[in-house]
Chains A and B, each alone.
Chain A
Amino acid sequence: MSGHSSSMAPFAKMMIVAKDEWRYWLRSKLAISVLAIGLLLTLSSVIVTAINTMELSHTRHELQNDADQTFVDQPDRHPHRMVHYGHYAFRAPSPLSVLDPGVDAYTGNSIFLEGHRQNSAMFADQKQGTALTQLGSLTPAFIVQTLAPLLLILIGYSSVSRERESHTLTYLLSQGTSGFTLIAGKGLALMSVIGLILVPLTISALFSLHEGESIAAILGFILGYALYLTVWALLVLLFSSALSKNSESFTALALTWILLCVVMPRVASSTAITTVPAAGKLETDFAVIAELRKLGDGHNANDPAFAQIKASLLEKYNVDSIEQLPVNYRGVIAMTSEAKLTEVLNEFAEQRMQTEVNQTQVSRYFGWLSPMVAIRSLSMLTAGTSIETHHKFLREAEDLRFNFVQSLNKVHAERLTYQDDMNRNKDLDSSDKARVAATNWQVLDDFSFAVDKPSLRLQRSAPAFLQLLAWVAALIIVIRWVGKRLV
């Protein structure tokens, strides 16, 4: 490092410092093996997750088509039987879930849709799991969020403190290199490592362009990770310059990593669960049932709850009895009660989703305390694998349910006479008469789930971006201050 004149531009000096750092890494076995392991892990996680996601995406599309086809292929039937026969909705994974599968493995990705009920999503992968991956799974998101900072620490903890311990620091400074230039040079070297880590991530993200992901979302995603790793590079520089010994710098950084990456995310979720308690679905179901009792049973047209509907129908068509109505009274009741019931169900479902969002919000505030929490939310939100996207799926599946049930009820009201309907259990002939043709089953809307628009996802992740930017800004200020006092 000697022999460079002090009149050089600061940037050129920074480059020299950075190159020298790389020379040191290449010479020391530890740094280079850590780097190799890190890249290998990132690469393998990208490949494994990509294969899994492609398989999933393929099967889900296939299952949805199968489900649509079986529904339409059903024979002639009483329309209400089709309401109970039901239908399935499958959630196709978002393109960026290759990099961050988010809640996918925990929510289940199929819903059975039927009349009078809102089922929860079923068959979360985790239930067939081995319980081995509770600490982390081989997803690019996990590797880069948790292990990459450790990698930066391992190769960077001594970047400045080493110079001090080997007494080269005073020499460097007395030659006219300012403290800040030195730190910035070391930082440049660390930034190039970050660049290396981001390469497999970026390439994989660009592949999702092909799956229909927008360039804005991809940029936001990669930028988020770049910011996150920058926070860690800055932390490494800060501790390395502020503490006088290698061992102190290492211990402090290791402890910081434990607290920010391992402890904080879990403290965040534990705090969220206990501060915003959420009643489970089972529990809200009781409230729903109580509410529904007031509405009457849609299977029983004589339920007194429907007296008013009956009266208004008779008045509307100007007839004396339900037998004389031009529509099937039982079908009309089924339709009205389904509409009212759905209103109640949706009200409770919305409440429940709101509680979940509130909970998640509490945990996301911890992003001000831990960059790891910030990048976790940013990553899931931008990739479209957060709880919000799951809620979107629930809402769209519910729309699908309501539409096909009501279309069937409409068929029930218009294509089947009240007399035939009432006699349906009399004998085989009457039972045949109380059926409608299978051509009426063409009532399904095409269901293909897509994640929210990129603009909305980016907008949602704005607070997390802010949190990361605040970390970067605060750290740069502190480092400038430390740099001036570097001795």
Chain B
Amino acid sequence: MSYMFKQLSREWRFMLRQKYLLVLLGCAILISGFSVQSGLNEIEQQQQTIERLTAADAADRTDAQHKHDEIGMLAYYTFHLTYSAPSNLAFAALGERDIYPWKHRIKMLAIEGQIYESDTQNAELTQAGKIDFLFVISALSPLIIILLFHDLFANERSSGRHDLLVTTAKSPWALWGARGAIRFIAIFLCLMLPFYVGTWVSGSSLAAIGLVSFYCFIYLAFWALLSVYWGRNASSAPKVASGLIGIWVLFAFITPILGDLSINKLVHSPKGGDIVFTQREAVNDAWDLPKEVTMDAFTATYPEWKDHVAMQSMFEWKWYYAFQQVGDQIAAPMSQEYRAAAKKKYELAGYASLLSPPLLLQRMLTRLAKTDAVAAFKYEQHLRDFHQELRLYHYPFLFAQGEFDKGELDNMPNFEKFVTEQQNDRKTDSVQSTNK
């Protein structure tokens, strides 16, 4: 034990004397620290935005409900805020939350007309990409590791010490093992320490921290071993490093780009614009169609209102909302195809990322942080389900004639409650299924 410790402490002192290693380590901790800091800032801003939006939304809804009495008008003027809050781990992997919208305000009108609205950040900054912990680990750290490890042997060889060192050392492990271990531990700590501070600030779960540490360890070890292996016999350090950087370019850029090109060729999806267009046309045509056409299409899906579709005047709210629903129905096949294509693309990208370690790590961490496309799909599904709930809440008041009692407004679905209920349902479901 003490022997190993001696080797390690010797190599530690040796490393402290090499200025460029210290520069590299310094850069690593600075960049990692900056990325964690800006990730925390970004998440903080998102949370504050949600808080402000929730307050404004509640005030606005109360206001609208105060102003109108008729259920049709109430439905028309009442908006509902929906959002997907960032997870505790999101600061480390901001993921695609700047591409997929994570907040919407919707109302009773056709959902297909509302769901594609995006409220995203400055496009030019999004395009440049942001620096988060995940970027530092997946894209940058391989380069730092390469610079740290590529000359492990070559450096000694070119300065003529190699053979002397090998013959005087007790075993190759005592020398290269200790040297490699010290460098690895140093870089691992420099990269991870800011992350641990971040998890402490954001209150992430221990399990998540453990998993992230494990993934990062494997990933960094992969690059370290690759660098050592690649450079084991070389005498020219720059040649080793150029080869390694070439591998990095291949993994980080070329493979993903080729994967992206082929997936986009492989998966065809309807144009988003066409969905909205179809839905719009359907809704607008309805004004001039005989009322029965709309009502028949509506009751085909909701037969329970079959006996309540007769109209007394040229305009009634139930008909208005019925044709909104019918507009959704007409656009539904395209919309489903659009979503299926997006999911298919995500799935295929999973296979592509098996050929690219940086992408694989990105996928794993964004999944863990719930900031990936899957999380976005899930939010979209929640949004659609909530919209359905909202419609189902209104239909009895719209179709079964009679005065609307404003006391009923208290029972109106609320997105926040809706999501928690759904999650609870799922939990009890899984408990029941395990009990069986």
Contact = CB atoms under 8 A, between A and B. Distances in A.
A271 B53 CA distance: 24
A255 B27 contact: yes
A252 B241 CA distance: 12
Nearest to B63: A293
A258 B143 contact: yes
A283 B48 CA distance: 11
A269 interface: yes
A204 B120 CA distance: 32
A269 B345 CA distance: 28
B127 to A, nearest CB: 5
Contact of B315 (A123, A251, A269, A425): A425
B53 A81 contact: no
Interface centre among B117, B122, B372 (most CB of A within 10 A): B122
A135 B256 contact: yes
Interface residues of B, number: 96
B38 A270 contact: yes
Contact of B257 (A120, A132, A277): A132
B353 A132 contact: yes
A376 B99 contact: no
Given A130-B352, A147-B253, A286-B60, A122 B273 contact: yes
A425 B245 CA distance: 72
B389 interface: no
A136 B20 CA distance: 29
Contact of A127 (B100, B348, B353): B100
A286 B260 contact: no
B124 A266 contact: no
A363 B260 contact: no
Interface string A111-133: 01000000110111011111111
B373 A131 contact: yes
Contact of A85 (B38, B96, B272, B284): B284
A250 B121 CA distance: 38
B130 A112 contact: no
B237 A250 contact: yes
B330 interface: no
B78 interface: no
Nearest to A250: B238
A178 interface: no
Interface string B283-316: 0100110000000000000000000000001110
Interface stretch (B5-13, B147-155, B418-426): B147-155
B207 interface: no
B256 A132 contact: yes
Given A77-B288, A112-B276, A281-B119, A255 B24 contact: yes
A48 B257 CA distance: 11
Interface in B142-162: 143-144, 146-147, 151, 154-155, 158
Interface string A60-86: 000100000010000101000100111
Interface in B27-63: 27, 31, 34-35, 38, 41-42, 45, 49, 52-53, 56-57, 60
Contact of A274 (B42, B96, B236, B353): B42
Nearest to A130: B349
A37 to B, nearest CB: 8
A133 B31 contact: no
A184 interface: no
Given A103-B127, A130-B348, A108 B261 contact: no
A387 B314 contact: no
Given A120-B119, A280-B119, A272 B125 contact: yes
Interface stretch (B263-271, B396-404, B405-413): B263-271
Contacts of A127: 99-100, 118, 272, 342
B105 interface: yes
A88 B277 CA distance: 9
Contacts of B121: 273, 278, 280
Interface in B9-26: 20, 23-24
A130 B130 CA distance: 18
Contacts of B100: 127
A259 to B, nearest CB: 7
B53 A283 contact: yes
A350 to B, nearest CB: 15
Contacts of B57: 286
A106 B127 CA distance: 7
A160 B114 CA distance: 62
Given A122-B118, A363-B125, 7 more contacts: A120-B118, A122-B117, A130-B259, A137-B257, A251-B151, A269-B131, A356-B124
18 contacts: A85-B280, A120-B117, A122-B117, A126-B99, A134-B129, A135-B358, A154-B242, A246-B238, A250-B237, A252-B20, A255-B27, A262-B140, A270-B35, A272-B122, A274-B41, A283-B56, A286-B57, A363-B128
